[in-house]
Amino acid sequence: MTLAVSSWERSSASELVKRLGSFNGRRFATAAPLLLPDNMHCEGRLSEKMSRKSFVIATVANCLLTGVLFAQSQPAVLTIHADQPISKVSPTLYGLMTEEINHSYDGGLYAEMVSNRTFGGSWAGIHNWILVEEGNSQAKIAPDSKTGPSEALPNSLRIDVSEASAAEPAGVLNEGYWGMAIRPNTTYTGSLYAKEDSASVGPITVSLVQNQSGKVVATATVSGVTTDWKQYPFTLKTGAVEPSAANHLVLTVAHPGTLWLSLVSLFPPTYHNRANGNRIDLMEKLAAMHPAFLRFPGGNYLEGDHIPERYEWKKTIGPLVDRPTHPSPWRYHSSDGLGLLEFLESCEDLHMQPVLAVYAGYSMAQEHVNPGADLDPYVQDALDEIEYVTGGTNTKWGAIRAANGHPEPFHLNYVEIGNEDFFDKSGSYEGRYSQFYKAIKAKYPDLLLIATMPVKSIRPDVIDDHYYKRATDFFHDTTHYDKTDRNGPKIFVGEWATREGTPTPNFGAALGDAAWMTGMERNSDIIVMAAYAPLLVNVNPGAMQWETDLIGYDALRSYGSPSYYAQVLFAKYLGTGTLASSLQGAGPKFFYSITKDEANKRLYLKLVNASSDPQPVNVEFPGASLAATATLTSLIANSTEATNTIDNPDSIVPKESTIHLSGSALHHTMPAYSIQVVELNER
């Protein structure tokens, strides 16, 4: 039951709490004299023999012992004027930013299971491929740069088998990206390019094998290999196996001779069953974030360390055999299997708009292209790229997109010119941005062009700001955009994160993130979009280049960090406009945002208590007529270091409950370290 406590009862209970304070040292030691809030909610049962006085005291004691009742300051008063809209909330406020970092694509979102599938580029030797010699069979393997299946893929793996038989075959195995995920009763779709010398070494046996038991869980045969390069499809089907990541792929032959392999590929079922598609679990996690847009392909990945290592979109489209792959600035090679069209199709799958970042003539080793004639080919490349995305099939690049499998043009609103060009010490961005701006606007006047730093000669439509901070810094910076000139360029917070926790953010980071998001929401009349970065991390040793990433995974499993769940909540309960409000008496680590969804007549109150003490708050809605019950969704932890991990993925997840209003007020105590959303319905 809930007690309304009189002032006498309150002071007796306070006295009792003072005496019992040593039971919960940290919370009570500093709390004398203790004030019990008017709306003290303690569950208890009043027996017939008990006086009300002893019941109150017993209940308080019980609450104290069970830790329900804590020392509390006077409640903060939050007054919300549901009938006074302040500004519009950007419907595209929350979206995604990805790039090839931390094995975000290869070994991550991109569902390919075979690592180093093309044996080329700058890999050291034949990384991830191991010689197999069963029994007394004998063979040698070596990378071969003299033959490959295409101009784009001039390399291959050469396997010289000197002795082999059906009982004792020889060949190679691939370790996958820290293993290969196998699930029961699942069909895996594979293909490989192969050729052999005149002797017949084939057929090739392709098998998925468990690492520990050595048991073959699926097998297929590839026959008819000739002396010319050709692609061979195969299918592997598992039976009743335990799901596991500890598996590898084996390719063997039973006869002596020489075999060359390239572009060995294996896919599990993918999101929306797309060929060359994405991992289902990761796409589902992204979908749950209600993303309005995807900023791609980077980030530093767009720029590359050197100009020839930039993201060249034309080399990422069409059949995989025509994609040459390229070194990424994050110290591993990119297969470019997740190329421009695949990015766009991911946008389609998750109903996001693409925010297309085009290479703008700056690479990270302080290499730049001078504005003017030198830059013209890069500008043309961007124009071609925009045509590939948006052009009809009657345009050159629109027709190529159609030939690649997507006749329908994609809708594009935003193009970003470069990435973090404030790092370019030559000061060339002013000229580079303006050259891109003029050329793109001339052909596509409706496109909004994002600058990566302030420019003077032209007014950018949007400026991309990046913030990587500690939680405390975000707590102190939630008012960052409160005074920003509303007549200036709009803001895209294209990368931001509280960097605390590795590989994924801990709860302290989630509190910093949530506090920052309250500030972004309040200013989302000017902040049109925002994206956490980096989004993804493969948590295996050696896979990560950047600490504190939103979603972690290995080959088989994935999990959301506390920050991920904070994002899910903020994006799910976005609202269409902010409301007038005022706050009094709150602690310094209390933050909030109040928005309303006009169509649904729903109010979303986001509350953040980053303090180690609970925060009582009386929320008043003068003049509003609200339903008596509201939904409360809570994300709570016991410590700022608390987190989710690959082995303990659901330690901190949102939990829903119902809370009750008294008239047009909500008397609520936020637990220590909590992020909460209250969903209120107007009557």
# chain residues binding ligand AHR, by CB under 6 A: 11
Report whether 562 contacts 505 (CB < 8 A): yes
Q: Which stretch, 64-72, 161-169, 298-306, 483-491, contacts ligand AHR (CB under 6 A)?
A: 298-306
- Find the binder of ligand AHR among 300, 498, 615, 674 (CB under 6 A): 300
* Residue 279: Cβ within 10 Å count: 22
Given 107, 176, 299, 575, the residue binding ligand AHR (CB under 6 A): 299
d(CA 453, CA 631): 41
CB atoms inside a 10 Å sphere around CB 238:
18
Binding mask 92-111 for ligand AHR (x = CB under 6 A): -------x-x----------
Query: Strands 536-538 and 527-532: what pairing?
Result: unpaired
Binding window for ligand AHR (CB under 6 A); candidates: 214-222, 293-301, 307-315, 615-623: 293-301
Structure tokens at 324: 């040459």
Amino acid symbol at 238? T
DSSP-assigned states of every residue in 391-437? --TTSHHHHHHHHTT--SPPP--EEEESS-GGG-TT--HHHHHHHHH
Q: Does residue 578 bind ligand AHR (CB under 6 A)?
A: no
Least gap, CB of 635 to ligand AHR (angstroms): 24
Q: How far is the CB of 330 from ligand AHR (least distance, A)?
A: 8
Identify which of 105, 100, 114 has the alpha carbon closest to the alpha carbon of residue 268: 114
Closest CA to 668 of 612, 604, 605, 619: 619
- Under the binding rule (CB under 6 A), the answer on residue 551 touching ligand AHR is no
Strand 590-597 relative to strand 216-222: parallel, antiparallel, unpaired?
unpaired
Q: Is 533 in the site for ligand AHR (CB under 6 A)?
A: yes
Nearer to ligand AHR, 101 or 173 (CB): 101
Task: Compute the least distance from the CB of residue 432 to ligand AHR, in Å.
Answer: 17
311 scored as a contact of ligand AHR (CB under 6 A): no
Of 385 and 495, which has the nearer Cβ to ligand AHR?
495
| Residue 342 Cβ vs ligand AHR, minimum distance, rounded to whole Å | 19
SS3 category, 158: strand
Q: How far does CA 32 lie from the centroid of its chain? A: 45
Q: In the bound complex, what is the minimum distance in angstroms from residue 393's beta carbon to ligand AHR?
A: 34
CB 206 within 8 A of CB 113: no
For ligand AHR, the nearest residue by Cβ is 299
* Separation CA 133–CA 102 (nearest Å): 33
Q: Could you give the CA distance from residue 302 to residue 310 in angstroms, rounded to a whole number?
A: 6
Closest CB to ligand AHR among 170 and 536? 536
Candidates 248-256, 296-304, 395-403, 619-627; binding stretch for ligand AHR (CB under 6 A): 296-304
Nearer to ligand AHR, 120 or 329 (CB): 329
Strands of the sheet containing 247-253, edge to edge, are 129-133, 170-174, 247-253, 204-210, 216-222
Exposure b/e, 95-130, CB count within 10 A at least 16 = b:
bbbbbbbbbbbbbbbbbbbbbbbbbbbebeebebbe
Binding of ligand AHR at residue 546 (CB under 6 A)?
yes
Closer Cβ to ligand AHR, 301 or 590, answer by number: 301
CB of 548 to ligand AHR, least distance (A): 10
Q: What is the dihedral of CA 122, 303, 336, 538, to 10 degrees?
A: 80
- For ligand AHR, the closer CB: 546 or 621: 546
- C-beta of 298 vs 371, nearer to ligand AHR: 298
Q: Is 556 helix (H, G, I), strand (E, B) or coil?
A: coil
CB of 580 to ligand AHR, least distance (A): 36
> Residue 38 or residue 473: which is nearer to ligand AHR going by CB?
473
34-69 burial code (b ≥16 CB/10 A, e <16): bbbbebbbbebeeeeeeeeeebbbbbbbebbeeeeb
Comparing CB distances to ligand AHR, the nearer of 360 and 624 is 360
Tally the residues of the chain.
683
Binding mask 392-421 for ligand AHR (x = CB under 6 A): ---------------------------xx-
Pairing of strands 138-144, 156-163: antiparallel
- Smaller CB distance to ligand AHR: residue 101 or 259? 101
Selected range binding ligand AHR among 5-13, 44-52, 145-153, 294-302, rule: CB under 6 A = 294-302
Counts of helices then strands in the chain (DSSP H, E): 12, 34
Tell me the per-residue interface mask from 69 to 88 with ligand AHR, x by CB under 6 A, - otherwise: --------------------
Peptide bond into 534 cis (omega under 30): yes
Q: Of the candidates 298, 304, 503, 616, which one interacts with ligand AHR according to CB under 6 A?
A: 298
Shortest spacing between CB 500 and ligand AHR, in angstroms? 15
Nearest distance, CB of residue 99 and ligand AHR, angstroms: 6
Residue 389 or 537 with smaller CB distance to ligand AHR: 537
CB atoms within 10 A of CB 519: 20
Cα-Cα-Cα-Cα dihedral of 495, 496, 500, 503, to 10°? -30
Distance CA 615, CA 478 (A): 19
Residue 435 phi, psi (nearest 5) = -65, -45
- When asked if residue 534 is in the footprint of ligand AHR (CB under 6 A), the reply is yes
Applying the rule CB under 6 A, the residues between 222 and 241 that interact with ligand AHR are none
To the nearest whole angstrom, how small is the minimum distance from the Cβ of residue 494 to ligand AHR? 8
Do 418 and 359 touch, CB atoms closer than 8 A? yes
In the complex, minimum distance from the CB of residue 433 to ligand AHR, in angstroms, rounded to a whole number:
16
Task: Write down the least CB distance from residue 538 to ligand AHR, Å.
Answer: 15
Question: What's the chain's Rg over C-alpha atoms?
Answer: 30
CA distances from 195 to 117, 198, 234, 353, 495 (A): 16, 10, 16, 42, 46
Nearer to ligand AHR, 15 or 465 (CB): 465
Instruction: Closer to ligand AHR by CB, 99 or 196: give it.
Output: 99
Closest distance of CB 530 from ligand AHR, Å: 14
**Which is closer to ligand AHR, CB of 385 or CB of 464?**
464
Q: How far is CA 178 from the centre of its chain?
A: 20
Phi/psi at 25 (5° precision): -40, -55
| Least CB distance to ligand AHR at residue 547 (A) | 10
Closest CB to ligand AHR among residues 175, 549: 549
Work out how close the CB of 300 gets to ligand AHR at its nearest, in angstroms, rounded to a whole number: 4
Check residue 495 for interaction with ligand AHR (CB under 6 A). Answer: yes
Q: Pick the piece of the chain touching ligand AHR (CB under 6 A) from 160-168, 208-216, 292-300, 483-491.
A: 292-300
Q: Which distant-in-sequence residues (6+ apart) come within 8 Å of 481 by Cβ?
A: 491, 519, 520, 523, 526, 527
Is the four-CA dihedral 537, 543, 544, 548 of positive or negative sign? positive
Place of tokens 């970042």: 357
Residue whose CB is less far from ligand AHR, 398 or 460: 460
Shortest Å, Cβ 516 to ligand AHR? 16
- Applying CB under 6 A, does 540 fall inside the site for ligand AHR? no
Provide, rounded to whole angstroms, the least separation between the CB of residue 549 and ligand AHR: 9
Which residues here bind ligand AHR, judged by CB under 6 A? 99, 101, 298-300, 419-420, 495, 533-534, 546
